[in-house]
Chain A
Amino acid sequence: MLVRIIRKEVTELIRDHRLRIFAAGIVVLTAVALCVGLVHHKNVQAFRQESQLLTRQQWEKQPARNPHGAAHYGIYAIKDSPVLSFIENGISDFSGYAMYLEAHYQNPMRYRSAEDATAISRMGNFTAGAMLQYYFPLFIILMAYPCFASERENGTLRQLLAHGVSRHKLFWGKAIAILGIQAVLCLPIIAISLVSIWYLSGSESEPILRFLLMISGLMVYYVATALLTLSVSAIVKRSATALAIMLGFWFITTFVAPVVTTAIAEQLHPVPSAEDFALGINEDKLKGLDGHRAGSDSYRAFVDSVLQHYNVKRTEDLPVNIYGLAFQKGEDYSNTVMDAHYDDLTSIYEDQARVRRSVAAFVPFIAVRSWLMGLAGTDFWHHAHFHRFAEDYRRTFVKILNDDLAYYEGHLTTKDREYQFATDPHFSTLYAKMPHFQYIRPELSEVFTVNQSYFAILIFWCLGLLACCFASAKGLKP
């Protein structure tokens, strides 16, 4: 019986030419979006890799100079475009991708491409991820809303039930038919994506795993959407009402809720302005040692302590370069200042994320979106992870240079301006020996742990709706 119901339902859905057009439209658009995303990702990635090589070359080609001068020249840490960003671009356009690593300061990530884009870049994104999150669920709604309501309107539901068809079989038959069609529609998209991922990342298995997790989240969301629409269709009298309710739900959860949630999060936990943030850091930095302010009390105290340690009277008699020591001491202090300020900032971001997560419990769209961005590696967490990693590298980078200034015997005898004449091979080895910046991406298990709550929300919705469906199937009235 179940097979017959499924077959009848599938035939009916396939025969509807409007649904056929819509389905063809979204599949073709998604495929186009995948291609557009792929080309975009390739271009972006090529530029970033080229820049990463270039910044290193520039670093190594520096002339001989005071190592602290070299630390001020600095280097850039450039974030690779995540492989799966061609499917879900996430926050990529709104977060910087390059961090200037220099002495004394932890810079934010720079160069947000949305800053140089047109204002309509704010009105929505044409990515495969957006298509899969917005329009595929809409297609489910369009397939499922008339399932019971219009059978009821046509009087066929009464006949069916009079023939003794099991209510549960009727319900699940329709659900399976709808989800089956949806799965078939997703197949070409999944196939194209898998081939593209293989093309981009070769034998690496992690992107494939991430993609499969993304797809499973989406599938759970689709099941939830189908079950919700079927329950509504089973409960209300007219198909128009079922459609109105579901379209309203879709519009509000998809287009309105994320914006409103953002506004609430921002009102409850405002991020300080960049000026205030920088001001706070600079004020706190003034309270401690700064290697550039030789006249300050803290500097003099530090010099005294070093003299005492080496048991000499004048800095000239020291076996080490006092500037190098002072710069590193100042760096250590400014790192604690940076940590304190960035920790405050991070806790604000976390508070905002908490608001979004609590709303996501009621708005499954936000959950599925966060899940997709999280696994694609284009969410805020990955952004922050890179920033932290690059900052740790900066601290090592600056320390190596300050230590060189402090302990390399050549610096004891050279005056600053004589570096230009230095033929000492020490400098070229110093620059070349600097460890390369090699970002280690977070483990998939960690990414999963961070995002699991979103998946759990989707599963809970599904389970809740399953219970709902049993109830509405049981109480199905003609």
Chain B
Amino acid sequence: MKITVFKHEWKIMRRRYSTWLLLGLLFSALLSGWFNGHSHAAALKQKIERIVGEQEEQYATLKNSFLEGSTEELKAAESPGKYGGLHSLTLPVQPLAALTVGQSDISPQIIGVGVMNKQRLPQDRYGYENPIHLLNGAFDVAFVIIVLVPLIIIAMSYDIIADERERGILPLLLAAPVSMPQLLIGKIVLRFILVAGTCLLTLLISMIFSGQGPSISLPMFWTWMIFTIAYILFWFALAAFVNIGRSSSVRNAIRLSMAWLAFVVIFPALVHVLIEMVHPVTPRLKAVNAAREKPMEYYAEKPRLAEQWYQRFPELKTEAQNAVTVKESFGAAFWLLQEEMDRRAAPVDKQIESEIARQQELLRFLSLISPSIALREAFNLISGTDVSRYQSFRKQAELFRLEWRKFFLPRAIHAHKMTPKDYMIIPVFDFKEAAGKSILFQLGLNIIGIGLLTLLVVLKVRHKQTDTSNMLV
């Protein structure tokens, strides 16, 4: 690259109002994207903190009233399980969630656990988000980078060579001691620095001013930036590739717009349809249908259900209960029934889980055809708002629910009183993030996808550049 080309180009560009207009647009879009995503993530975080706080308070009250010799009701093992969603499991909000709303607007961040069956869990009463807003998607930094940045790149660079040629300046330029590749690269590199620099600076400024600075892990932030830069590079490489031909600036603009349409809109839509066709996901209602099959009457079914329960967990059966003499209460019958309903739904749930996993696998493979798909996946992963993390949360919550039930149900059906010791050993949920390795592996796959595409385009450009003799016309 010749530094003179770079300097001259900068002189021209900084006098053009369109440069500042485009950069200003990028700046304000990023800023408002940040503001919007940040307020979404902050609300989510606040909600989780409040719920966790309330829950701890509730437990403290239970424990204290127990120690102070409380009412019988509180001592009964039924109590903690009585309120279907007494125990709320929460998925922590990741520091970079403000950058990508991802799936966090539609997937539950809080899952209630209790002894009730699944159609009665609190998360089934969720879903008040305006569906039109979910359809349109969130205006966050990820959206700005994936959708808007390429448009700004196209607007800045569709005519870098064609314009010179159309005005008849190109022969003059090439008469100077500068080659065509030098000219092209100089122009592209300057624009790349402007766009990437604006992105980096805006994000840094917004993070620092919103007080998010200290909480953000630097490696994650730089991973985010590396992906962004790779994506910006891809679009500039594409612009260079289009510019190197002999076509007019109008044709370049159309070609680049078509490329944008293909990569950002059409490919994702087609990939989505393809995935849905190859691995359709069973509707969740099917699990409910299965659970409600053969409606049962609590009392009539109780002995059989109790028998079944102790066959599954013989270790929970004590000497005294060998005869399966469970307490003749409404609760015992009702809760055993809840357990039975969930057991019926379990195969469908498992099937859905594996179908989603297969979809994700296929998507990871297909994301190689469009950098915007790969980037969206990567952004969601880095921000912790990706499908896999929510699926993992669901799965862990489900396992915890079984543990919770295993703890309370035997105590409840025998109407055991809770002891202080019991309160100490109530199961505690701790969300385990996917191992760092697997996330890195996924990110790696995606970045290789983007990198390969960019490389392919650049190689093609260099190949074409060797023949510039007829470019002056």
Contact = CB atoms under 8 A, between A and B. Distances in A.
Interface of A: 36, 40, 43, 47, 51, 54-55, 58-59, 61-65, 69, 73, 76, 78, 90-91, 93-98, 100, 105, 107-126, 130, 134-135, 138, 142, 146, 239-240, 243-244, 247-248, 251, 255-256, 258-263, 265-267, 270-278, 345, 349, 352, 356, 379-380, 383, 416-417, 419-420
Given A63-B300, A108-B126, A142 B254 contact: yes
Contacts of B143: 259
B372 interface: yes
Nearest to B281: A116
Interface stretch (B226-234, B290-298, B402-410): B290-298
Interface in B247-302: 248-250, 253-254, 257, 261, 264-266, 268-273, 275-277, 280-281, 283-286, 288-289, 292-300
What 6 pairs across the A-B complex have the smallest Cβ distances?
A263-B139, A126-B269, A123-B268, A91-B131, A274-B126, A94-B131
A61, A255, A380, most chain B CB atoms within 10 A: A255
Given A54-B289, A111-B283, A262-B136, A243 B253 contact: yes
Interface residues of B, number: 84
B128 A277 contact: yes
Given A76-B285, A119-B387, A383 B125 contact: no
B352 A116 contact: yes
A108 B128 CA distance: 7
A203 to B, nearest CB: 30
Given A118-B272, A271-B129, 20 more contacts: A58-B293, A58-B295, A63-B295, A63-B300, A94-B131, A112-B106, A113-B281, A118-B359, A120-B376, A125-B272, A146-B250, A240-B250, A251-B151, A259-B139, A267-B36, A270-B43, A275-B47, A276-B47, A352-B133, A419-B297
B127 interface: yes
A47, A93, A251, A275, most chain B CB atoms within 10 A: A275
B50 to A, nearest CB: 9
A76 B297 contact: no
A183 to B, nearest CB: 23
Contact of B106 (A94, A265, A272, A345): A94
B444 interface: no
8 contacts: A47-B285, A54-B289, A61-B295, A113-B283, A120-B377, A273-B43, A352-B132, A356-B132
B133 A266 contact: yes
Which DSSP category, helix, strand, loop or mixed, fits chain A's interface? helix
A120 B107 contact: no
Contact of A94 (B128, B135, B139, B386): B135
B273 A126 contact: yes
Given A58-B292, A116-B284, A124-B265, A255 B147 contact: yes
B125 A95 contact: no
Given A107-B124, A120-B272, A239 B250 contact: yes
Contacts of A276: 47
B130 A349 contact: yes
Contact of B363 (A116, A118, A240, A379): A118
Contacts of A259: 136-139, 143
A359 B231 CA distance: 31
Interface in B99-114: 102-103, 106-107, 110
A107 B125 contact: yes
Interface of B: 32, 36, 39, 43, 47, 51, 102-103, 106-107, 110, 119, 122, 124-139, 143, 147-148, 151, 155, 159, 248-250, 253-254, 257, 261, 264-266, 268-273, 275-277, 280-281, 283-286, 288-289, 292-300, 330, 352, 356, 359-360, 363, 372-373, 376-377, 380, 386-387
Given A273-B43, A275-B51, A114 B136 contact: no
A25 B276 CA distance: 22
Contacts of B151: 251
Contacts of A105: 125
A265 B133 contact: yes
Contacts of A65: 297
B249 A123 contact: no
Contacts of A142: 254
A116, A135, A356, most chain B CB atoms within 10 A: A116
B289 A94 contact: no
B127 A55 contact: no
A380 B135 CA distance: 11
Contacts of A274: 125-128
Contacts of B126: 108, 274
Contact of B272 (A58, A112, A126, A266): A126
A226 to B, nearest CB: 18
B130 A63 contact: no
Nearest to A73: B295
A117 B359 CA distance: 8
A226 B411 CA distance: 73
A100 B127 CA distance: 13
A40 B283 CA distance: 13
B369 to A, nearest CB: 11
Given A111-B284, A116-B356, A259-B137, A123 B295 contact: no
Contacts of A251: 151, 257
B107 A115 contact: yes
Contact of A243 (B250, B276, B386): B250
Contact of B297 (A63, A117, A118, A119): A63
B106 A114 contact: yes
A124 B268 contact: yes
A380 B131 contact: yes
Given A94-B134, A108-B127, A120-B373, A51 B289 contact: yes
B115 to A, nearest CB: 15
A76 B288 contact: yes
A224 B90 CA distance: 50
A110 B32 CA distance: 32
B399 to A, nearest CB: 19
Nearest to A240: B250
Contacts of B330: 416
A109 B147 CA distance: 32
A325 to B, nearest CB: 21
B148 A100 contact: no
Contacts of A97: 285
A138 B266 CA distance: 14
A427 to B, nearest CB: 11
Contact of B127 (A96, A116, A138): A96
Nearest to B293: A58
B304 to A, nearest CB: 13
A111 B285 contact: yes
